[in-house]
Amino acid sequence: MNGLDQKLGHYSKFITCFFDVVGGVEMIFGFGLPTRGPLAQPDAIKTVLEKAEKLGLGYVSVADHIVIPKEIKAVYPYSDTGEPPFPPDGECLEQLTLMSYIAAVTSKIRILSSVMVVPHRNPVHTAKTISTIDVLSNGRVTIGCGAGWMEEEFVAIGTEPFKERGKVTDEYLNIFKELWTEPLPSYSGKYNSFKDIKFEPKPIQKPHPPLWIGGESPAAKRRAVRLGDGWFPIGANPNFPLNTTTKYANGLSSLKQLSAESDRDPESLDLGFWSNWDHEVKDRKTPQEGERHIMTGGADAIEDDINIMKELGVEIFMFQLAKPESLEATLASMDRFSNQVLSRF
């Protein structure tokens, strides 16, 4: 089985409605659904998702925060200032619960955690919740995974130590796989252990829902190679910038080098890219060199970026289409994206 066959094995029966085959690469487009504000209400969520499925978008993603501490000293990794984009009241719907609601009101679109902070939740309970959502959605779940960045939230939740979050993430991912694939799962680790338990139902997807590793750092890339089914970075991390196609190509090259060193076929990894900024801004520049920021500059420039990244093997392109101020503005944004970008592929 080649790398493409392995990847499509996770979700081939659902993907056919949503991708455009361009140069042999299956390209799927998606968007992020807010977890707060006027768009995070039942009727608004349903309306946005109906529009997404009508337009042929293949993924909807949901972010992950459980609590927002009043005082945050941690540096947010995806802004030039380090300031997190949280509202004053700290509103945020719980990620996995929202994913189950999405599963109930949709029939085609895939449901992506982007990303799930893996150390936030007990791994056995989390694996059960994900398996349940996968069953109820008829196999439409993809789990974007991250180790987290906000120590204050870890403390408030009562997780394992923040400084050990990388090791915790690795162990929990291995626990997920054990529970999802073995008839009588057993595991002995530093943070969790169990023996000969019955864990049913298993996920619909085999061997399990895809695990996409988020992050741009060398540690995130190593985790993707060792434990992931895909690499899913954001282009706006100033410490590890992927904000031009050249920088992305260099980042992908290092991922492939790590794959070679680990005897991992890089073609077996899904490649996704999260543009978590306003793509309609035409004059956004990179803070380092003053070059045009990737996935901005108008439809022609975005088309060029997508085609370049498609040649590099990127298959999933996520865009920030939601307009937090109103449902009407969001629906108009989605229509513009469909007419100006999707129509080109």
The pLDDT score that the predictor gives to residue 48 is 98
Q: What is the pLDDT of residues 117-161, one digit of tens each?
A: 999 999 999 999 999 999 999 999 999 999 999 999 999 999 999
CB 259 within 8 A of CB 223: no
- Which DSSP helix (H) or strand (E) runs through 318? strand 316-319
Tell me, what's the pLDDT at 197? 97
Q: How far, in Å, CA of 139 to CA of 13, rounded?
A: 9
Q: How far apart are CA 149 and CA 151, in angstroms?
A: 6
Domains for the chain: give ranges and CATH numbers. 3-9+25-320 (3.20.20.30)
* 322 vs 41: CA distance, rounded Å: 14
Query: Rg of the Cα trace of the chain?
Result: 19
Give the integer Cα–Cα distance in Å for 35 and 98: 8
Mean of pLDDT values over 165-174: 98
* CA separation for the pair 63, 265 (Å, rounded): 29
Is residue 230 within 8 A of residue 212, CB to CB? The reply is yes
List, as one string, the DSSP characters of 157-206: HT-S-GGGHHHHHHHHHHHHHHHHH-SS--EE-SS-EE-S----SPPSSS
3-class secondary structure, 31: strand
Secondary structure string (H, E, C) spanning 285-313: ECCCCCCECCCCCCHHHHHHHHHHHHHHC
pLDDT at 12: 40
pLDDT single digits (tens) 2-57: 444 445 444 443 433 444 555 555 799 999 999 999 999 999 999 999 999 999 99
pLDDT tens digit sequence for 108-123: 999 999 999 999 999 9
Dist. CA 48–CA 40, nearest whole Å: 10
DSSP 51-70: HHHHHT--EEEE---S---S
% of the chain with per-residue pLDDT over 90: 85
Residue 224 has pLDDT above 80, yes or no: yes
- Report residue 52 as tokens: 């997404």
pLDDT tens profile 90-112: 899 999 999 999 999 999 999 99
Q: Which residues contact 125 (CB under 8 A, 6 or more apart)?
A: none
Which residues have C-beta within 8 Å of that of residue 298, sequence separation ≥ 6? 282
